[in-house]
């Protein structure tokens, strides 16, 4: 055959040329490997060397069916593991003689395989880092269950006065209408599911389950001493735990069928994700995922080609053409100031991105903000807030499930109730119903706004809290929305320079593809912005998009820890905030560059190109319904009222308006109609404007602790109150109180890291950042060249002749700089024995930052080493480093050594026995001890109390590892 001739040519009939070719391949691979090692040693993070681990698994597209796939696999020494999920002509090949995990891609058989005429595409699978999204750390009810934890399930029903229950998701109301999830199938994509759990066994669905990690039908989790793989079982119990079985808990859809896919307990590759996302799409209705890329505030990642195809196939063909429902947790990167628009899973139009709120309606500390979030359910908040009750490993239950991990399964259960009410709902119908029925209620957010279609929407909570009863009622009478149109507007390729402290503004006049009836969009659903930007520090960028109707979406916020120079290459940002608005008109893109101190401002960024993709319909989506008004708000009216009548009540005259909201006007209590309540008022349940507390600018109730935003001069605290000063470990910014860094007990208004006192349980000293910033940073002990001032308990610099000093005075030297000798506790100049401290005047204060680029010697300022931004005593005794370096023990390095982690350009030591830890100092890899090896401790749900202290989190991780 042609392929055999190619192979003979490559190998050589006599063997000589084949050996030469093989040697060339080996040499090339070796050179590439050595380059990676060299690059890592030098601290570079170029694309080929950045966390790329190749496996011995391949995804192959072969035309001709499984017979040809088996034949080709056998021919080259592979094993065909079968079709990849529901992806036609895509096969999973495994090669047992290839290294399981390698930094080098395979070249030999891989190259030959691609030459087969039936092989259309081949890809060696790469390990992808994926994180589970939880965090370690009334009237009598007419419905009652005998399950032990039923009375404590606050997020399903409010039955006590102790916690001042304000609002629930009306799940009991949906149950009363007869909907419990019957005949709906949900699967949990996670680390497995304990199928024999007493609360799960009755509803367990074997057909909706699979072990992708083990390549078998049993999704039982892998057990260990730390119960690491409890996450999937916890999520499953929220959805479909059996009711009234006297065991533990009750699922939201307690008669639904529940399955599980074990896919997170091993190497996660594109193929693993695709297999999971495309499992049994004609049988499974809802896929729930509470994981994603690292929520570390610096990662930009999303689904690769196979996973994208699985999403598209599921939407197009799943559920007999109505479309699979993908529910996704929005992310837990709030503490790292992450932005979920940098997560390609939650940022997809095919997923329903779920946010979290605490029981009180306040923003949880882990919450990420972005414009792609669709809706919200309950989860944990602060330490004192109640958490989620659900099933746990070893046939137990837990009351400490946390994070957005807990919110996504809750939403999946509510959607199951709606699908039981109307099984014919399409994937877009489900999203429309969620948008129409979600409500702002008591959810506190400073950015609630009403878009031009009349919907309340927020970057924290999407369209608000889910309402199960409203959803099933809407589903009962729902008529399918018109066909989706996709309008891809022309790209704007004019290159614009992004200068520090400036805003780049680009206006695009969209037509909504009016010239093409098959793509014409008038009424919007999702809007995508595809953008390419080059920039020296990606985290300094923020991006806003304003619709023709004036609705502004923040596509990207500043990310403190994102030091990447990669920018964005054709990245897709998505917003739902324009839902229901008109597509045609001027769209305004604004990019703001806020340079941090960690980057040189000499190199500006560039906006290379951007374009709009508009999704929606060419006719009104609800024209066939009895009412097209959203529940979250009423459409604004351009006239004061529609009609009115007067009536008397005692001495008062009332104006009766047939309009959305009534506003009291005068001492005589006359009223007029407005489209929305003005500043200082809130809308009550009777559609009347009531006064907020005097310090509130906007609010959700009349009490002083129900403010949403504050009047100028005041700041919104965590209790919903407006205060003059933020207290309790918080600082003021943009009229809000924000948490200080976890190492600070208190900080000033300059930012979370500007400590004024330290956490007494963790840190004890403040070091002054000389020539870096005038602010404080909490540390465990003073660095070399500093000593503890006993009065102020701050780290003060030693005398310039001291390398180290122990105090209590700055000239009590323990060791000396070069050219000086220690004698009787004093540093003596080697060139002049009589030159003692007694004859030396105290050093003058260090010059300010613009001047502090060297060190004084001989009456002149000598330059620091090139890698040092500032130094003391000699050129290599660095106090701070240039942008591309990290400070460790007064030397500047390209990367932190083992046992350390980078934090704000400084290498800090990991906890004891920890060989690898995260940006926050949380242990990710522990040194082998007593025969134990831990290969990556993930953040996961309910594993311990939610904690804001790195020390407490670290203690939990260490204590959970047993021999």
Measured in degrees and rounded to the nearest 5, phi and psi for residue 476 equal: -60, -35
Helix, strand, or coil (residue 837): helix
What six digits make up the tokens of 424? 């014919």
Among residues 510, 418, 342, the alpha carbon closest in space to that of 177 is found at 418
Q: State the Cα–Cα distance between residues 133 and 129, nearest whole angstrom.
A: 13
Tell me if 757 sits within 8 A of 744, measured CB to CB.
Answer: yes
Q: Which two tokens stand for residue 327?
A: 């529910």
Q: Is 597 exposed, middle or buried (0-12, 13-18, 19+ CB in 10 A)?
A: middle
Structure tokens at 70: 């088996």
* 405 included as an active-site residue: yes
Complete DSSP assignment for 541-578:
EEEEEE-TT--EEEEE---TT---S--EEEEEEEE-TT
The catalytic residue among 231, 577, 741, 742 is 231
* Residue 628 vs residues 453, 478, 624: alpha-carbon distances, Å: 10, 11, 9
Instruction: Name the phi and psi angles at 679, rounded to 5.
Output: -55, 135
Alpha-helical runs (H) found in 422-491: 427-437, 468-476
Comparing CA positions, the residue from 617, 583, 246 lying closest to residue 426 is 617
Per-residue burial over 649-658, b = 16 or more CB atoms within 10 Å of its CB, e = otherwise: eeeeebbebe
Report the number of secondary-structure helices (H) and strands (E) in the chain: 12, 60
The CA distance from 661 to 869, in Å, is: 60
Beta bridge partners of 485: 616
Whole-angstrom Cα distance, residue 357 to residue 404? 9
First and final CA of the chain: distance in angstroms? 58
- Collapsing DSSP states into helix, strand and coil, what is residue 48? helix
User: What is the C-alpha to C-alpha distance for residues 230 and 190, in angstroms, rounded to an integer?
Assistant: 9
Q: Distance (Å, rounded) from C-alpha 158 to C-alpha 147? A: 16
148: which 2 tokens? 């032990």
DSSP annotation of 937: P
Q: Which two structure tokens, joined as six digits, stand for 270? A: 């594109």
Beta bridge partners of 354: 329, 375
Instruction: State whether the Cα torsion 515-516-520-526 is positive or negative.
Output: negative
Q: Which two tokens stand for residue 164?
A: 């001042």
Q: Is 643 a catalytic residue?
A: no
Q: Residues in the chain, how many?
A: 963
Q: Which residue is catalytic, options 86, 134, 190, 467?
A: 190
Cα-based distances in Å from 497 to 28, 67, 549: 39, 55, 27
Question: DSSP of 792-818, one letter per residue?
Answer: T-EEEEPPTTEEEE-SSSTT-EEEE-T
Q: Catalytic pick from 405, 618, 708, 870?
A: 405
Task: Give me the residue label for tokens 């065991």.
Answer: 247
CA dist list (Å): 630 to 30, 449, 457:
62, 14, 12
DSSP string covering 877-892: -EEEE-TT-EEETTEE
Dist. CA 769–CA 70, nearest whole Å = 64
- Written as six digits, the tokens of 563 are 């030091």
Q: What is the spatial distance between Cα 97 and Cα 544, in angstroms, rounded to a whole number?
A: 51
Q: Is 863 helix (H, G, I), strand (E, B) or coil?
A: strand
How far from chain centre, in Å, is Cα 21? Answer: 47
Whether 900 sits among the annotated catalytic residues: the reply is no
Active site residues: 190, 231, 405
């Amino acid at each position: 055959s042609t392929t055999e001739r190619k192979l003979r040519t490559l190998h050589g009939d006599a063997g000589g040329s084949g050996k030469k070719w093989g040697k060339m391949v080996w040499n090339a691979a070796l050179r590439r490997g050595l380059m990676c090692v060299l690059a890592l040693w030098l601290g570079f993070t170029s694309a080929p060397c950045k966390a790329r681990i190749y496996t011995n698994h391949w995804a192959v597209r072969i035309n001709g069916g499984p017979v040809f796939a088996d034949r080709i696999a056998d021919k080259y020494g592979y094993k065909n593991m079968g079709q990849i999920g529901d992806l036609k002509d895509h096969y999973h090949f495994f090669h047992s003689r290839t290294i399981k995990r390698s930094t080098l891609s395979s070249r030999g058989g891989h190259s030959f395989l691609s030459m087969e005429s039936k092989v259309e595409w081949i890809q060696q699978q790469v390990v992808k880092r994926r994180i589970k999204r939880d965090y370690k750390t009334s009237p009598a009810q007419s419905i009652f269950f005998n399950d032990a934890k039923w009375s404590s399930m606050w997020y399903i029903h409010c039955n006590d006065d102790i916690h001042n229950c304000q609002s629930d998701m009306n799940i009991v109301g949906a149950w009363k209408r007869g909907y419990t999830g019957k005949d709906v199938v949900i699967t949990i994509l996670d680390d497995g599911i304990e199928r024999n759990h007493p609360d799960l066994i009755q509803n367990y669905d074997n057909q909706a389950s699979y072990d992708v990690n083990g390549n078998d039908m049993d999704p039982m989790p892998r057990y260990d001493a730390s119960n690491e793989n409890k996450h999937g079982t916890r999520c499953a119990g929220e959805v479909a735990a059996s009711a009234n079985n006297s065991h533990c808990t009750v699922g939201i859809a307690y008669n639904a069928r529940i399955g599980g896919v074990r896919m997170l307990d091993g190497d996660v590759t594109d193929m693993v994700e695709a297999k999971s996302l495309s499992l049994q799409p004609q049988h499974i209705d809802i896929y729930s995922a509470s994981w994603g890329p690292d929520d570390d505030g610096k990662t930009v990642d999303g689904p690769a080609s196979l996973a994208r195809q699985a999403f598209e196939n599921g939407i197009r063909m799943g559920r007999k053409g109505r479309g699979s429902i993908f529910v996704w947790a929005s992310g837990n990167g709030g503490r790292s100031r992450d932005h979920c628009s940098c997560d390609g899973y939650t940022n997809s139009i095919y997923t329903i991105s779920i946010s979290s709120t605490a029981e009180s309606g306040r923003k949880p500390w882990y919450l990420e903000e972005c414009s792609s979030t669709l809706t919200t359910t309950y989860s944990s908040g602060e330490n004192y807030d109640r958490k989620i009750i659900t099933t746990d490993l070893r046939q137990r239950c837990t009351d400490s499930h946390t994070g957005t991990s807990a919110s996504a399964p809750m939403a999946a259960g509510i959607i199951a109730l709606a699908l039981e009410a109307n099984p014919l709902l399409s994937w877009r119908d489900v999203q429309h119903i969620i948008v129409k029925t979600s409500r702002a209620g008591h959810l506190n957010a400073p950015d609630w706004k009403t878009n031009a279609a009349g919907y309340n929407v927020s970057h924290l909570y999407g369209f608000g809290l889910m309402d199960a009863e409203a959803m099933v009622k809407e589903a009962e009478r729902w008529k399918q929305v018109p066909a989706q149109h996709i309008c891809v507007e022309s790209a704007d390729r004019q290159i614009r320079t992004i200068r520090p402290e400036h805003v780049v503004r680009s206006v695009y006049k969209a037509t909504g593809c009016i010239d093409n009836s098959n793509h014409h969009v008038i009424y919007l659903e999702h809007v995508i912005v595809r953008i390419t930007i080059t920039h020296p520090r990606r985290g300094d960028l923020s991006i806003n998009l304003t619709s023709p109707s004036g609705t502004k979406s923040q596509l990207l916020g500043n990310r403190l820890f994102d030091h990447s120079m990669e920018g964005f290459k054709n990245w897709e940002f998505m917003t739902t905030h324009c839902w229901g608005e008109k597509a045609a008109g001027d769209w305004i893109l604004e990019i703001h560059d806020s340079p941090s101190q960690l980057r040189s401002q000499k190199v500006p960024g560039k906006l290379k190109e951007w374009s709009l993709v508009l999704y929606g319909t060419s006719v009104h989506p609800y024209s066939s319904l009895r009412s097209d008004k959203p529940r979250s708000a009423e459409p604004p009216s351009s006239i004061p009222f529609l009609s009115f009548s007067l009536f008397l009540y005692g001495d008062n005259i009332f104006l009766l308006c047939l309009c959305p909201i009534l506003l009291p006007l005068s001492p005589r209590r006359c009223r007029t109609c407005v489209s929305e309540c003005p500043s200082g008022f809130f809308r009550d349940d009777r559609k009347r404007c009531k006064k907020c507390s005097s310090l509130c600018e906007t609010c959700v109730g009349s009490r002083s602790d129900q403010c949403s935003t504050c009047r100028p001069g005041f700041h919104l605290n965590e209790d919903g109150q407006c205060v003059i000063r933020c207290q309790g470990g918080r600082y003021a910014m943009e009229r809000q109180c924000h948490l200080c860094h976890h190492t600070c007990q208190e900080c000033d208004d300059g930012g979370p890291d500007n400590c004024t006192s330290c956490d007494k349980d963790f840190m004890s000293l403040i070091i002054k950042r000389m020539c870096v910033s005038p602010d404080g940073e909490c540390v465990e002990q003073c660095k070399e060249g500093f000593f503890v001032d006993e009065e102020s308990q701050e780290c003060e610099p030693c005398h310039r002749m001291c390398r180290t000093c122990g105090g209590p005075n700055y000239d009590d030297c323990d060791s000396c700089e070069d050219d000086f000798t220690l004698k009787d506790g004093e540093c003596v100049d080697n060139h002049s024995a009589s030159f003692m401290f007694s004859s030396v005047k105290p050093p003058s204060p260090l010059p300010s930052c613009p001047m502090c680029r060297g060190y004084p010697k001989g009456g002149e300022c000598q330059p620091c080493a090139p890698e040092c931004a500032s130094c003391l005593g000699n050129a290599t005794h660095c106090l701070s480093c240039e942008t591309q370096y990290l400070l460790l023990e007064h030397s500047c390095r390209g990367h932190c050594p083992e046992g350390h982690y980078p934090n704000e350009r400084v290498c800090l030591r990991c906890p004891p026995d920890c060989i690898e830890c995260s940006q926050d100092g949380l242990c990710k890899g522990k040194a082998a001890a007593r025969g134990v090896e831990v290969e990556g401790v993930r953040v996961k749900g309910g594993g311990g109390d939610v904690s804001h202290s790195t020390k407490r989190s670290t203690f939990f991780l260490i204590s959970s590892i047993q021999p």
